[in-house]
């Protein structure tokens, strides 16, 4: 968008599919979110409300979603039921704002009422099941089961189920091969992989259900999603990162007066980390013992950031619950902001993440791999290097912040502007295709042996330590977010960047009629540098690997008087 508008003030309006993150549903999604039966009041949005929503901050958007989740229930449905009767039954308890159905090991409905009283009324009329040979934990959660009398299960059409899974790599390849340009492919990829409105609602609802459990101990706690659920780079199927936020409790305890006062008697822990571990271990136990649908609970309390990991079966989500992790939430806000500044940012992030996953550069298993978070920061850094820059530096976002944006967490200044309309972008008309190609060239050439990536300054900095890859943590500036990455993994990344850059220089690959899959889809094929079966797929059309790589090395730009080959050997010698 910014490519064609030159210097512009940013508003959420006009960013198409991004509206989903601002609660202004895009038309296509709006259709999918059903409000059907006569008993259901269709909510019409006034122009004023819509305009107000368009300039919402990250926090305001998250708050609204959270509040909607608190008015929602998750209901397991039988194989056969009548949607209208089901909704009529529920609407006896109050107006239904929205509902949708999905299927994961059974049919489920998410139903959002317009008021919390409806939830109370619904719970009043809901039974604890009588279980034979076992006993039920009498915890009244908002995860319910619909009991449908057999006699009423006549042949009604089943409701439409919303898809909650990402397309397979074959489906993606097929989809992309039908597009006419690489720009179209990257946009199509983003649309196919991104979280849907329904999926985001379900993620907030799962956090809200968890909050009901943690609330038994800490009634004022809030469980908030962070990471890719909210940072605008979430892909269908990604995990749900959650924070148990106890800050509200501390905030309300800071009422200081000069007269008499009382304070709570509290247990003390050796350190904040020890307290966090102790709280998470208890909540983990409750989730395990009392949380309906929560299985495979693991307490991973010795990690740098202690967490409880579990699977929430009804939603199919893998969940990571952390506590006392406010910086990570701020990082999510920062990425959200970058994702909203220009549509090319998300196109590039989604394509680079997809490419990295296809080549096992990233993995769902923790290890020495590059993470999605690191990759996203690398894309942001690359876009700050463009001439003119597509993204502002973090220091610039801090300069633009107002007094209410001031944010210091554990001594780290995490201040960034929250009002996007204050950000002025420079005119940059690069196509997504050009950016993708130059991303690969940029990192195929990057002097990883001596330089670090720093999005705060938007400039390469001298590496302060000898880890293979150094990406400065945006807010905790003495930390490296990619400390885990070893030299082998970095070398694989560099080699694949070079190969992909080279492939994009080939006319064949850019020509829809000459190879299939073509364009970006061809970059998802297994690499010539990493295994069997690959050569046979590409060799038919392209040169053998050795001469291809040699040509690539020759064709890539020489930067700073040092050849790519020299830089590669500098990296591998570490």
239/405 with CB nearer Mg ion: 239
Q: Which of residues 101-130 bind ligand GTP (CB under 6 A)?
A: none
146/236 with CB nearer ligand GTP: 236
* Pairwise CA distance, residues 122 & 86, whole Å: 13
Do the Cβ atoms of 81 and 146 come closer than 8 Å?
yes
Q: Which residue in 253, 264, 308 sits closest to 286, CA to CA?
A: 308
Q: Which of residues 465-484 bind ligand GTP (CB under 6 A)?
A: 473, 476, 481
Q: Residue holding tokens 């220091």?
A: 395
173/229 with CB nearer ligand GTP: 229
| β 451-452/461-462 pair status | antiparallel
Q: Residue holding tokens 């990162």?
A: 241
The vertex-176 CA angle with 373 and 231, nearest 5°, equals 25
Using the rule CB under 6 A, is 449 a contact of ligand GTP?
Answer: no
SS3 for 114?
A: coil
Count the residues of the shown chain that bind ligand GTP, applying the rule CB under 6 A: 18
Secondary structure (H, E, C), 7-48: CEECCCCCCHHHHHHHCCCCHHHHHHCECCCCCCCCCCCCHH
Which partner in ligand GTP, Mg ion, none is near 276 (CB below 5 to 8 A by kind)?
none
SS3 for 82?
A: coil
* Pairwise CA distance, residues 444 & 434, whole Å: 15
87/319 with CB nearer ligand GTP: 319
SS3 for 318?
A: strand
x/- site string to ligand GTP, residues 323 to 342, per CB under 6 A? Answer: ----xx--xx----------
* Pairwise CA distance, residues 420 & 401, whole Å: 10
Using the rule CB under 6 A, is 441 a contact of ligand GTP?
Answer: no
Q: Stretches 8-16, 62-70, 199-207, 224-232: which one binds ligand GTP (CB under 6 A)?
A: 224-232
Q: Which residue in 331, 574, 346 sits closest to 466, CA to CA?
A: 574
Which partner in Mg ion, ligand GTP, none is near 373 (CB below 5 to 8 A by kind)?
ligand GTP
Q: Which of residues 523-562 bind ligand GTP (CB under 6 A)?
A: none
90/240 with CB nearer ligand GTP: 240
Do the Cβ atoms of 354 and 503 come closer than 8 Å?
no
Q: Which residue in 573, 563, 517, 569 sits closest to 541, CA to CA?
A: 517
Residues in the chain: 574
Q: Stretches 41-49, 223-231, 504-512, 552-560: which one binds ligand GTP (CB under 6 A)?
A: 223-231
Among residues 63, 191, 239, 288, the one that binds Mg ion under rule CB under 5 A: 239
Q: Which residue in 496, 491, 502 sits closest to 554, CA to CA?
A: 502
305/549 with CB nearer Mg ion: 305
Smallest distance, Mg ion to C-beta of residue 143, A: 22
Using the rule CB under 5 A, is 241 a contact of Mg ion?
Answer: yes
C-alpha 356, offset from chain centre: 16
Smallest distance, Mg ion to C-beta of residue 227, A: 4
Using the rule CB under 6 A, is 201 a contact of ligand GTP?
Answer: no
Count the residues of the shown chain that bind Mg ion, applying the rule CB under 5 A: 4
241/433 with CB nearer Mg ion: 241
Q: Which of residues 239-268 bind ligand GTP (CB under 6 A)?
A: 239, 241
x/- site string to ligand GTP, residues 354 to 393, per CB under 6 A? Answer: -----------------xxx--------------------
Angstrom CA distances, 423 to 13, 99, 337, 390, 506, stand at: 14, 36, 10, 12, 38
x/- site string to Mg ion, residues 217 to 236, per CB under 5 A? Answer: ----------xx--------
Residue ranges in contact with ligand GTP by CB under 6 A: 226-228, 231, 235, 238-239, 241, 327-328, 331-332, 371-373, 473, 476, 481
Site of interaction with Mg ion (CB under 5 A): 227-228, 239, 241
């Amino acid at each position: 968008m910014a490519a064609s508008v030159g210097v512009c003030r940013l508003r959420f309006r006009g960013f198409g599919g991004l509206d989903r993150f601002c609660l202004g549903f895009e038309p296509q999604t709006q259709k999918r979110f059903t409000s059907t039966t006569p008993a259901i009041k269709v909510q019409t949005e006034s122009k004023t409300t819509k305009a107000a929503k368009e300039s919402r901050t990250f926090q305001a958007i998250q708050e609204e979603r959270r509040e909607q989740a608190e008015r929602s229930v998750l209901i397991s449905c039988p194989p056969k039921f009548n949607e209208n009767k089901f909704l009529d039954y529920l609407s006896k308890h109050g107006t239904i704002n929205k509902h949708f159905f999905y299927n994961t090991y059974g049919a489920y409905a998410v139903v959002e009422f317009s008021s919390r009283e409806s939830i109370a009324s619904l719970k009043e009329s809901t039974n604890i099941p009588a279980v034979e040979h076992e006993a039920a934990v009498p915890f009244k959660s908002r995860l319910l089961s619909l009991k449908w009398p057999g006699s009423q299960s006549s042949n009604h059409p089943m409701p439409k189920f919303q898809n909650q899974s990402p397309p397979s790599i074959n489906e993606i390849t097929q989809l992309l091969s039908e597009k006419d340009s690489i720009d179209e492919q990257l946009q199509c990829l983003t649309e196919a992989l991104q979280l849907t409105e329904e999926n985001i609602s379900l993620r907030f609802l799962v956090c809200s259900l968890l909050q009901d459990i943690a609330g038994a101990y800490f009634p004022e706690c809030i469980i908030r999603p962070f990471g890719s659920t909210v940072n605008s780079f979430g892909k269908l199927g990604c995990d749900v990162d959650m924070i148990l936020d106890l800050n509200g409790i501390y905030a309300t305890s800071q009422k200081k007066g000069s007269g008499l006062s009382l304070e709570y008697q509290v247990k003390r822990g050796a350190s904040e980390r020890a307290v966090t571990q102790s709280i998470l271990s208890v909540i983990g136990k409750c989730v395990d013992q009392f949380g309906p649908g929560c299985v495979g609970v693991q307490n991973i309390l010795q990690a740098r950031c202690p967490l409880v990991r579990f699977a929430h079966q009804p939603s199919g989500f893998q969940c990571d619950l952390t506590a006392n992790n406010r910086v990570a939430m701020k990082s999510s806000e920062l990425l959200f902001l970058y994702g909203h500044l220009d549509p090319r940012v998300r196109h590039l992030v989604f394509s680079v993440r997809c490419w990295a996953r296809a080549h096992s550069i990233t993995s769902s298993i923790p290890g020495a791999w590059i993470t999605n978070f690191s990759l996203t920061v690398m894309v942001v850094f690359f876009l700050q290097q463009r001439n003119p820059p597509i993204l502002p530096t973090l220091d610039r976002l801090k300069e633009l912040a107002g007094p209410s944006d001031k944010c210091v967490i554990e001594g780290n200044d995490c201040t960034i502007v929250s009002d996007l309309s204050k950000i002025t972008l420079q005119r940059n008309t690069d196509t997504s295709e050009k950016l993708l190609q130059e991303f690969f060239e940029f990192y195929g050439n990057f002097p990883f042996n001596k330089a670090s990536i720093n999005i705060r300054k938007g400039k390469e900095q001298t590496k302060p330590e000898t880890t293979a890859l150094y990406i400065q943590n945006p807010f905790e500036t003495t930390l490296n977010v990619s400390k885990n990455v070893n030299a082998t993994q970095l070398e694989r990344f560099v080699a694949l960047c070079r190969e992909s850059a080279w492939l994009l220089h080939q006319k064949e690959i850019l020509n829809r009629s000459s190879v299939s899959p073509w364009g970006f889809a061809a970059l998802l094929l297994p690499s010539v540098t990493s295994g069997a079966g690959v050569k046979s797929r590409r060799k038919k059309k392209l040169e053998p690997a050795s001469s291809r790589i040699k040509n690539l090395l020759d064709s890539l730009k020489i930067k700073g008087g040092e050849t790519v080959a020299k830089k590669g050997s500098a990296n591998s010698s570490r």
